[in-house]
């Protein structure tokens, strides 16, 4: 069977379109590799099927490896919501009033666990502009008291 250059282009476009439906950001590299092989085959039509498949495989692996090398998955993660005891006792400024059964907002001078502004709760009513201290972290909420 003779594989025409446009087979590779159609397969590559199909893989890129599949990436739109399944956003894993992996299929796009296989699709771009297939398009590159199709362009190469249009320029050099006498390339054998084995060389075509090998080139597609090498290009796909190289693009996926380059993608994960440049954009490391763990590099861009923040630690928002992951409590450790280092932030207990930190003092911030209340920017939205907080009362029992109502959420407020507190701003810190330096980011704590990746964020300068946190949603907070309190067992007492605290007015805007008061300084508050963290007593506990519950998921993405912090519990505060007057400093």
Give the per-residue pLDDT at 110: 87
The count of other CB atoms within 10 Å of the CB of residue 129 is 9
Give the per-residue pLDDT at 75: 55
Domains, the chain, in order of start with CATH, read 5-70 (no CATH), 91-146 (2.40.50.140)
- Taking the model in full, what pTM does it have? 0.52
Give the per-residue pLDDT at 115: 83
Give the per-residue pLDDT at 82: 52
Buried b (16+ CB within 10 A) or exposed e, 55-76: bbeebbeebbeeeeeeeeeeee
Give the per-residue pLDDT at 144: 95
Give the per-residue pLDDT at 85: 58
Low-confidence ranges of the chain (pLDDT < 70): 1, 72-85
């Amino acid at each position: 069977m003779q594989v025409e250059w446009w087979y590779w282009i159609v397969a590559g476009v199909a893989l890129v379109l599949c990436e739109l439906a399944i956003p894993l950001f992996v299929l796009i590299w296989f699709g771009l590799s297939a398009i590159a092989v199709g362009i190469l085959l249009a320029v050099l039509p006498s390339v054998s099927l084995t060389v075509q498949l090998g080139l597609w495989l090498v290009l796909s692996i190289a693009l996926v490896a380059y993608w994960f090398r440049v954009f490391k998955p763990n590099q861009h993660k923040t630690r928002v919501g992951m409590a450790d005891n280092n932030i207990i006792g930190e003092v911030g400024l209340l920017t939205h009033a907080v009362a029992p059964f109502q959420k407020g907002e507190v701003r810190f001078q330096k980011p704590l666990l990746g964020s300068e502004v946190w949603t907070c709760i309190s067992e007492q009513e605290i007015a805007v502009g008061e300084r508050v201290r963290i007593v506990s972290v519950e998921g993405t909420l912090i519990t505060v008291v007057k400093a």
